[in-house]
Amino acid sequence: MRGYLLKRIPSALLVLLLASFLIFAILRLVPGDAAEVLAGPDAGPESVAAIRGQLGLDEPLLAQYASWIGDLVRGDLGPSYAIGGQVADLIGDGLGATAELTLGALFFTVTLGLLFGVLGAASRRRPVRVVVHALTTGALAVPPFVTGVLLVLVFAVGLSVLPSGGRVGLLEAPDLELQYLLLPSLCLALPSAAVLGRYLKDSLERAFAEDYIRTATAAGVPRRRLLWRHALPNALPPVVTLLGMQTGQLLGGAVLVEAIFAWPGLGQLAEQALNRRDYPVVQDLLLLLVAVFVLVQLLTDVVYAALDPRIRWE
């Protein structure tokens, strides 16, 4: 296991390093730098140059990169140019909201995924299996912005039981917050729940074909107990790994779902910072998102290797 970690962790760090180069390079390619934004449209070239000197933007690129990474490591993200406030505060607020949304979506992914998987594999009624298959096909194919608009149309406009977007904050009003959280997290969870459900269904069907199930059936174990106590525990390990990968997907998808439901998370912050050309925020935010994503992938791989020793020897 240690050997696997020694191989896997450096390669994750390498990807992160390359990503930081790429993000830095991308933001230097953007027409018009931060000094021009700060100085405003009417500023003369001298004042722009003065601000550029203040911000250290006239230093060599390598020095700028080093000071960016150095500040990051020390936890000093500096002030935001356009949005206002400290970058660390902006990102902290957004991170809280996005984490909440992702956790909500994870809840629905697990519950709906289990439901789809178990019903799809174990229901003895054919119509139930057909409906589950149709639902998962639909949830996999239809983009979240379509399901999002449909959810708003049905629950916010048609039935008017849930709000169509926004957030009140978990600490301020927990019960109200749950209402606001419901639709976005469901919308974000649906594709992942479908993937999980499909995978669990296959996994369960394979488990049901095993000899020990036949033996247990012959010994008179009731079908319900067979499913929950014998087949399901044996079908779960690969599904757990899949869940890890889906968590990464949820983080990526959150950006879109936040835009649909006006959820003030990292995605909304990124969009706002890009539109107002607030480059320090964009730069730190992109790297943070990539880092979280790489970390989730790393954890998934490590868990998978812990569960299945063959992986470590590849």
Q: Does 295 help bind other proteins (rule: CB under 8 A)?
A: no
Q: By CB under 8 A, tell whether 137 contacts other proteins.
A: yes
- Told to check if 101 binds other proteins by CB under 8 A, we report no
Q: Which of residues 143-172 bind other proteins (CB under 8 A)?
A: 143-146, 149-150, 152-153, 156-157, 164
Check residue 15 for interaction with other proteins (CB under 8 A): yes
Question: Is 17 buried (19+), middle (13-18) or exposed (0-12) by CB count in 10 A?
Answer: exposed
Residue 188 Cβ vs other proteins, minimum distance, rounded to whole Å: 12
Q: Smallest distance from the beta carbon of 253 to other proteins, in angstroms?
A: 8
The smaller minimum CB distance to other proteins, of residues 208 and 279, is found at 279
Bridge partners of residue 19, in order along the sequence: none
Q: Which is nearer to other proteins, 196 or 270 (CB)?
A: 270
Q: How far is it, in rounded angstroms, from Cα 189 to Cα 181?
A: 12
The distance of Cα 289 from the centroid of its chain, to the nearest Å, equals: 9
Amino acid at 208: F
Stretch that binds other proteins, among 61-69, 70-78, 140-148, 217-225 (CB under 8 A): 140-148
Cβ neighbourhood burial of 238 (10 Å; 0-12, 13-18, 19+):
middle
Distances (CA, A) of 247 to 27, 108, 170, 264, 283: 28, 12, 21, 20, 23
- Candidate residues 1, 13, 26, 307; the one interacting with other proteins per rule CB under 8 A: 26
- Return the SS3 of 79: strand
Would you say 165 or 169 has its CB closer to other proteins? 165
Short-list 105, 95, 112, 266, CA closest to 183: 105
One of 275, 310, 313, 314 touching other proteins (CB under 8 A): 275
Stretch that binds other proteins, among 26-34, 72-80, 110-118, 237-245 (CB under 8 A): 26-34
DSSP string for residues in 35-68: HHHHH-TT--HHHHHHHHHHHTTTS-HHHHHHHH
Distances (CA, A) of 294 to 46, 90, 139, 247: 42, 22, 26, 11
Q: Which two tokens mark 250?
A: 């949820």
227: tokens are 């499913």
Least distance from other proteins to the Cβ atom of residue 230, Å: 28
Kindly indicate which of the ranges 39-47, 202-210, 228-236, 285-293 contains the residues binding other proteins, using the contact rule CB under 8 A. Answer: 285-293
- What dihedral do alpha carbons 37, 40, 41, 43 form, nearest 10°? -120
Q: How many residues bind other proteins (CB under 8 A)?
A: 49
For the CB of residue 220, give the shortest distance to other proteins in the complex, in Å: 37
In three-state secondary structure terms, 111 is helix
State which of positions 28-57 bind other proteins (CB under 8 A): 29-30
Minimum CB distance to other proteins smaller for 58 or for 271: 271
**Least Å distance between CB 290 and other proteins?**
5
For residue 154, the 8-state DSSP code is I
| 78 Cβ neighbours under 8 A, 6+ residues apart | 71, 86, 87, 280
Nearer Cβ to other proteins, position 91 or 232? 91
- Does 10 bind other proteins (CB under 8 A)? Our answer is no
Residue 311 as a binder of other proteins (CB under 8 A): the answer is: no
- Give the residues lining the site for other proteins (CB under 8 A): 11, 14-16, 18-19, 22-23, 26-27, 29-30, 137-138, 140-146, 149-150, 152-153, 156-157, 164, 248-249, 251-253, 255-256, 259-260, 267, 270-271, 274-275, 282, 286, 289-290, 293-294, 297
